[in-house]
Amino acid sequence: MLLSLYRACSAALAPLAPPFLLWRARMRRARLRPEDRLRSQERLAKPSLPRPHGRLAWLHGAAAADIAPLIPLIERLGAAGFAVLVTTRDDGSTPIRLPPTALHQCAPLDAPRFVKPFLAYWRPDVALFAASEFWPNFISESRKRGLPINLINARLSARAFLFWRKLPGVARDLFGGVDLCLARSEADAQRFRFFGASCAQAAGDPIYDLAPSPADAAALARLLARIGARPVWAAFPAGALEEDIVIEAHQKIARNFPDLLTIIAPRHAKRGFDVALRAGRLGLDARVATAADHDSGALPAIHIAGAGDAGLFYRATGVIFLGKSLRGGGGINPVEAAKLGCAILHGPDVDDFEEVYAAVDGAGGGAVVNDAQALASEASLLLFDAAELRAMGRAAADEVERLGGASWRIMQALAPYLAQIFVRPEIEDEAES
């Protein structure tokens, strides 16, 4: 009854969707951009790209952060002969670096008026819903079309579990009819089985399968030459509070390492000049990297660069501080840094990647710091003791390697469903008949 009421309400409110989307876009920005209108049209099931030929897998997640860990799976689907349509509910402002076999669209609003034409246009052969994206109309309309419905990297937190326990009938209708539920952990799988998903099984977290982004070998060589024999560490703060903590930590570390080089990569590049100004007021030599000084010249005590060069700095430094973690930010994904053998320092607020940090810290590859004094003490210890630094970096790399393989397990579990798709007529043949 509740699901029927939801579907009726979503159908009744659908005519209000176009003005609502434009109003929300205007609330976010003073002036509408062309891409804002484009994304709004996509949410109304008006595609901006043509459908690829051949077999198509539809992968849906809430946002870019939910899709990023699934890039290895998308690559495997491409190798298996599938084009992949990736949809998210966000406005596309956060870019997703998809493989060539994949394309991105904003997901339609969860109303029959939009979901039906979306499915009719794209004609996916299989539906893959990531993380905790369980939209009733998405699932019910996919069932009507006979689409295999699979939950991948599925999670059901303790809080979500308590919520769905208040609506057991709705939960059983949503989860009980999925073809396959590949949960992130055994605890998640048990929660899904409680609501009737007898097919639920733990496949692990694909986030550990992410390969480090490639680095420009020439740029890395130039950076290492400019660093020379100086003790160096890198920090990736988010916001003024963490930036000030990093600057204070630099001052403390420099008491023992006078030629210390601190690389600061704020999450937002525009903040670099503000960081340099605040450090300069303390008498520190801090400069923002520019295109003119990339190739030569001595680096200042505090070298301020863009967060987009993170992979370069992970390779050039052994000690890193991952911010967005000191005051409820949720943390920065540490997998790439761990795979590159970095010793990882971070704050206590890493809820977005809690299990990853717990695994890395438990293996001895990371450490929690709460303030500038703790950050300076941990960084100083690692800069002083090269053996401890190597051991910590190796522990981080070994742990994420040990936890990898989820993408392969997901593909193995999906194999029977994908094989059935290839014995059916091509999608163009179906359309002609």
What's the pLDDT tens digit per position in 390-403?
A: 999 999 999 999 99
The pLDDT-based confidence of 292 (bands split at 50, 70, 90) is low
C-alpha–C-alpha distance, residues 366 and 35, integer Å? 40
Q: Is the pLDDT of residue 404 over 80?
A: yes
- Residue 149 sits at the vertex; the CA angle it makes with 148 and 155, to the nearest 5 degrees, is 155
Residue in 74, 71, 73, 108 with CA at minimum distance from that of residue 88: 108
The pLDDT-based confidence of 429 (bands split at 50, 70, 90) is very low
- Burial (CB < 10 A; 0-12, 13-18, 19+), residue 169, is exposed
The tokens for 75 are: 């690559």
Q: Is the pLDDT of residue 332 over 90?
A: yes
pLDDT of residue 92: 56
Q: Is the pLDDT of residue 197 over 60?
A: yes
- Residue 103 sits at the vertex; the CA angle it makes with 97 and 55, to the nearest 5 degrees, is 130
Q: How many CA atoms lie within 13 A of 273 on its CB side?
A: 2
Contacts of 305 (CB under 8 A, 6+ apart): 263, 264, 265, 272, 288, 289, 313
Domains 2-204+405-432 and 217-402 fall in the same CATH topology: yes
pLDDT of residue 270: 84
The tokens for 105 are: 């669209």
Which residues in 1-29 are b (16+ Cβ under 10 Å) and which e?
Answer: eebeebbeebeeebeebeeebeeebeeee
pLDDT of residue 425: 66
The residue-averaged pLDDT of 13-36 equals 81
Tally of residues, the chain: 433
Q: What is the per-residue pLDDT across 145-189, written as a single tens digit (0 to 9) for each?
A: 999 999 999 999 899 999 999 999 999 999 988 999 999 999 999
Q: Are 59 and 128 in contact (CB under 8 A)?
A: yes
Residue in 253, 245, 309, 319 with CA at minimum distance from that of residue 279: 245
Residue 267 phi, psi (nearest 5): -65, -30
* Domain locations along the chain: 2-204+405-432, 217-402
Residue in 310, 254, 257 with CA at minimum distance from that of residue 282: 254
Of 21-25, 64-68, 375-379, least confident by mean pLDDT is 21-25
Helices (H), 108-196: 112-122, 136-144, 158-165, 168-175, 186-194
Q: Is the pLDDT of residue 427 over 60?
A: no
pLDDT of residue 95: 64
Q: Are 214 and 97 in contact (CB under 8 A)?
A: no
Q: Is the pLDDT of residue 428 over 80?
A: no
pLDDT of residue 209: 94
Average pLDDT of every residue of the chain: 91
Q: Is the pLDDT of residue 35 over 50?
A: yes
The tokens for 320 are: 């890193």
Topology adopted by domain 217-402: Rossmann fold (3.40.50)
The pLDDT-based confidence of 431 (bands split at 50, 70, 90) is very low
C-alpha–C-alpha distance, residues 106 and 44, integer Å? 9
Class in CATH terms, 2-204+405-432: alpha beta
pTM equals 0.85
SS3 content of the chain, % helix, strand, coil (to 5): 50, 15, 35
The residue with tokens 């420099």 is 254
Q: Is the pLDDT of residue 354 over 70?
A: yes
